[in-house]
């Protein structure tokens, strides 16, 4: 099994970290291919909780080599703080490899992200404020700073100077903020160069050689399908390619190498930040699901918006990503609900749509059409086979599978590594 992609099917926080960690001990490389420290993955191992942002989730598996791919944007301060925090807990980040072509989030972009959001007022996106959008914009605008630039002071200074020529105008004249000094920014970035250098490699070449040698590579997405800059709810998206296609550009692994695409999907839905969310539950109903699922952001601590499972979105994710397997997570959270509604289609302007409509304006007006399933009361957190699940719970899973466009291969019944029902081996 050469290269496998793992993505989020909804709006993020589906439990990608746990799913990656589950496979970590059986794969040789875990590559983060998009996003940056906007991601937040909580992983629980033997009751011990780890929160990862920038580091690939494979970092917690001893034999696996974690890789930060070229498609990632790196906040150096966060990177080393995260490595230090892991080391302080007796975990090693020694094997981490960082792409020489990954982009750096310079300090001015974190400022610009935050002030842009404040300036937008009610039209804000609700970003994580980590400088993600401005850094990907710089990348496309060809004024970005890359990892390799840290090892060439002359080039670095030139790049920071030309970037600040523009950024300082924006900061000072539009946002009424203090301009940044070239020297201070260059010095700040260079202060990480020595520590970073031993980790840096030509990661597309490294991964090519690994695949040639028959190694297994897992490509782990941050964010999710509905937050993808092309395929998500634009403009309420992140600024990277979080779908399976992004795994190729963000790692340098060609599409012909990829033969499995796993999508992680929660048994209900959540969203952080602004943007349309057809099945959203408001007031007490939303609070109930939020509290049951502990749906508070790992990165910003914001309460996550909550709602019912949206099958058109799962089908869309299956289509856009070419999903071969779903990992259905947090099924245990629905225990005790008298009934569980599932959105099976939308009504838009009086017309039934079984799938995602063509435009965002239509999606924003979509009214869910629900089918309601009977709930179950028995605790399922110790279930390890489908047969261990209550009959109503089994029926719910089977219905989701039928509606979602790909088989459900693993079911999560708790946050722990072992709290999973494996129906099909994802690596077989
Ligand atoms: P990610 O961003 O996709 O990696 O997901 P997050 O880590 O942000 O959010 C998922 C949360 O759900 C984490 O706190 C996980 O520990 C937890 N989790 C994952 N799978 C399950 C599950 O099957 N059941 C329960 N109860 N919690 C889960
Ligand atoms: P993981 O990997 C949930 C959301 C933000 C905001 C939008 C743009 O943990 O699933 P950004 O800072 O990326 O420019 O914000 O995207 N967002 C996430 N929501 N989980 C994430 O990551 C997210 N990363 C970004 O809330 O709506
Ligand atoms: Mg998360």
Half-sphere exposure of 369 (CA within 13 A, CB side): 13
Q: Is the pLDDT of residue 281 over 90?
A: yes
Judge if the beta carbon of residue 39 lies within 6 A of ligand 2. Answer: yes
Mean pLDDT of 319-330: 98
Pocket test for ligand 1, best of 17, 270, 379 (most atoms within 8 A of CB): 17
**Cα torsion 337, 8, 16, 286: sign:** negative
Overall fold of domain 264-422: Adenylosuccinate Synthetase; Chain A, domain 3 (3.90.170)
Pocket test for ligand 1, best of 14, 15, 317 (most atoms within 8 A of CB): 15
pLDDT digits (tens, 9 = 90+) for 86-117: 999 999 999 999 999 999 999 999 999 999 99
Q: Quick one: pLDDT at residue 1?
A: 59
In this structure, which residue's CA is closest to atom 9 in ligand 1?
13
- The single residue listed with the structure tokens 């930060």 is 68
Q: Quick one: pLDDT at residue 70?
A: 99
Mean pLDDT of 134-144: 97
CA of 236 to the centre of ligand 2 (A): 10
Are residues 260 and 426 in contact, defined by beta-carbon separation less than 8 angstroms?
yes
User: What is the C-alpha to C-alpha distance for residues 157 and 150, in angstroms, rounded to an integer?
Assistant: 9
pLDDT digits (tens, 9 = 90+) for 11-54: 999 999 999 999 999 999 999 999 999 999 999 999 999 999 99
For the chain, give the percent of residues with pLDDT over 90.
98
User: What is the C-alpha to C-alpha distance for residues 234 and 85, in angstroms, rounded to an integer?
Assistant: 35
Q: Are strands 29-32 and 280-281 parallel, antiparallel or unpaired?
A: unpaired
Q: Quick one: pLDDT at residue 105?
A: 98
CATH superfamily of 103-194: Adenylosuccinate Synthetase, subunit A, domain 2 (1.10.300.10)
pLDDT digits (tens, 9 = 90+) for 339-374: 999 999 999 999 999 999 999 999 999 999 999 999
Task: From 384, 392, 348, select the one nearest 368 (Cα to Cα).
Answer: 348
**Cα torsion 389, 392, 393, 394: sign:** positive
Task: From 253, 254, 229, 233, select the one nearest 243 (Cα to Cα).
Answer: 229
Q: Quick check: helix, strand or coil at residue 262?
A: strand
pLDDT digits (tens, 9 = 90+) for 385-397: 999 999 999 999 9
Q: Quick one: pLDDT at residue 284?
A: 95
User: What is the C-alpha to C-alpha distance for residues 75 and 36, in angstroms, rounded to an integer?
Assistant: 8
Are residues 298 and 41 in contact, defined by beta-carbon separation less than 8 angstroms?
yes
Which ligand lies nearest to the CA atom of residue 226 in the structure? 2
Mean of pLDDT over the chain: 97
Say yes or no: do domains 103-194 and 264-422 share a fold: no
Residues identified as active-site: 13, 41
Mean pLDDT of 290-317: 95
Mean pLDDT of 232-257: 98
Every domain of the chain and the residues it spans: 3-99+199-262, 103-194, 264-422
Task: From 373, 363, 416, 376, select the one nearest 11 (Cα to Cα).
Answer: 363
CA of 269 to the centre of ligand 3 (A): 13
As beta bridge partners, residue 67 has 31, 97
Model pTM above 0.85: yes
Q: For 3-99+199-262, CATH number?
A: 3.40.440.10
Mean pLDDT of 51-65: 95
pLDDT digits (tens, 9 = 90+) for 211-225: 999 999 999 999 999
Mean pLDDT of 318-333: 98
Label residue 300 by pLDDT band (50, 70, 90): confident
DSSP state string for 311-325: HHHHHHHHHHHT-SE
Q: How far is CA 64 from CA 13, 97, 217, in A?
A: 23, 11, 9
Neighbours of ion ligand 3 (CB under 5 A): 13, 40, 298
The ligand 2 atom nearest the CA atom of 227: 16
Listed in sequence order, the residues at least 6 apart from 85 whose beta carbon sits closer than 8 Å to its beta carbon are: none
Q: Read off φ and ψ for residue 424, nearest 5 degrees.
A: -125, 135
């Amino acid at each position: 099994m050469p290269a496998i992609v793992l993505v989020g099917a909804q709006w993020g926080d589906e439990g990608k970290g746990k799913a990656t960690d589950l496979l970590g001990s059986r794969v040789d490389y875990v590559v983060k291919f998009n996003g940056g420290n906007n991601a937040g993955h909580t992983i629980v191992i033997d009751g011990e909780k780890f929160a990862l942002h920038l580091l690939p989730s494979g970092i917690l598996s001893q034999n696996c080599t974690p890789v930060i791919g070229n498609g990632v944007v790196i906040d150096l301060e966060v990177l080393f703080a995260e490595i230090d925090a892991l080391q302080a807990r007796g975990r090693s980040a020694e094997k981490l490899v960082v792409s020489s072509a990954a982009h750096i989030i310079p300090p001015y972009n974190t400022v610009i992200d935050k002030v842009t959001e404040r300036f937008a007022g009610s039209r804000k996106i609700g970003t994580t404020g980590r400088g993600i959008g401005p850094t990907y914009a710089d990348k496309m605008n060809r004024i970005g700073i890359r990892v390799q630039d840290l090892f060439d002071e002359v080039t670095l200074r030139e790049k920071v100077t030309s970037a600040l020529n523009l950024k300082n105008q924006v900061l000072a004249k539009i946002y009424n903020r203090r301009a940044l000094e070239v020297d201070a920014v260059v010095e700040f970035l260079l202060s990480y160069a020595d520590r970073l250098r031993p980790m840096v490699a030509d990661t597309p070449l490294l991964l090519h050689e690994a695949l040639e040698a028959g190694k297994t590579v897992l490509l782990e997405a941050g964010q999710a399908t509905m937050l993808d800059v092309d395929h998500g709810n634009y403009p309420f998206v992140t600024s990277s390619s979080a779908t399976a296609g992004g795994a190729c550009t963000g790692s340098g692994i060609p599409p012909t190498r990829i033969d499995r695409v796993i999508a992680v999907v929660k048994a209900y839905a959540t969203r952080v930040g602004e943007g349309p969310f057809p099945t959203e539950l408001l007031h007490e109903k939303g609070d109930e699901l939020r509290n049951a699922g502990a749906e508070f952001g790992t990165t910003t601590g914001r309460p996550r918006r909550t709602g019912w499972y949206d099958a058109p979105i799962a089908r869309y994710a299956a289509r856009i990503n070419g999903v071969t397997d779903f990992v259905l997570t947090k099924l245990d959270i629905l225990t005790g609900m008298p009934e569980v509604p599932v959105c099976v289609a939308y009504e838009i302007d009086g017309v039934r749509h079984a799938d995602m409509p063509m435009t965002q304006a239509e999606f924003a007006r979509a009214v869910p059409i629900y089918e309601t399933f009977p709930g179950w009361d028995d605790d399922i957190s110790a279930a390890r086979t489908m047969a261990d699940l209550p009959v109503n719970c089994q029926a719910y899973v089977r219905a989701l599978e039928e509606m979602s466009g790909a088989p459900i291969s693993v079911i999560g019944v708790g946050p722990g590594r072992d709290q999973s029902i494996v129906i099909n081996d994802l690596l077989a």
